[in-house]
Amino acid sequence: MEEGRRSRRKTVGFRAGSIAKRPTWMHKFMNKNKQAILILDNIRSVFNVGSIFRTADGAGISKIYLVGVTPDPVDRFGRERKDLAKVALGAEKKIPWEHFEDLVVLIKKLKKDGYQIVALEQAENSVDYKKFKPEFPMALIMGEEVHGLDKKILDLCDSIIEIPMMGKKESLNVSVATGVSLFRILNI
């Protein structure tokens, strides 16, 4: 096997503890002071996850944590998920990711590491995402498509933000909401 293939294979999948390197040209555009990661909690749609990977790459997200039943970019045998890859268009190979089963454990770990934990959710104490002042490093949690995030998770968050809705529908698709909120919070 030639050397180029071996090095490319090392970055596919980004299992726990792996590190992905972004192309050097991208570092010119990324603001090191705005380190942000995403947490996808029990998002069931593989297409939403693929779309979020693509959006996250465009926003310069440094890592994605996939929690619970959220599908990984590779199946249980380590093979690329073609359905996710079709939507992500290669972003799933560029952003480091890790699967966690327990969101509470992950939040406590990230808080210990100095991350501001932010949930995007409609709640009594949520603030308009346009008025939110982030502190970095920051972790943004996106909840399950229908029921969102559990109250016990919201209680662990430093901030809860929401996107106000003007029409008859109460919320946006999770992948759309991720893009809207990330690009506003990161001022892209």
Please report the pLDDT score of residue 8 as a whole number: 32
Range of the domain at 181: 3-185
| Nearest C-alpha neighbor of 123 from the set 82, 84, 171 | 171
Please report the pLDDT score of residue 17 as a whole number: 43
Alpha-carbon gap, residue 143 to 150, rounded angstroms: 8
Phi and psi, residue 28, nearest 5°: -65, -30
Please report the pLDDT score of residue 85 as a whole number: 95
Ranges under pLDDT 50 in the chain? 1-22, 24-25, 27-28
Kindly report whether the global pTM for this prediction surpasses the value 0.75. yes
Q: What Cα–Cα distance (Å) separates residue 137 from each residue in 37, 43, 61, 62, 86? A: 8, 23, 11, 10, 30
Tokens describing residue 9: 């294979």
Structurally, the chain folds into a number of domains equal to 1
| Nearest C-alpha neighbor of 181 from the set 157, 164, 167 | 164
- Could you tell me the sign of the dihedral formed by the alpha carbons of 161, 165, 168, 174, in that order? negative
Please report the pLDDT score of residue 114 as a whole number: 97
Largest CA distance in the chain: 57
Cross-strand pairs, 97: 64
Q: Is the peptide bond before 137 cis (omega within 30 degrees of 0)?
A: yes
Please report the pLDDT score of residue 122 as a whole number: 93
pLDDT digits (tens, 9 = 90+) for 124-152: 999 999 999 999 999 999 999 899 999 99
C-alpha dihedral, 164 to 50 to 145 to 154, nearest 10°: -70
The CATH number of whichever domain residue 131 belongs to comes to 3.40.1280.10
Alpha-carbon gap, residue 188 to 122, rounded angstroms: 23
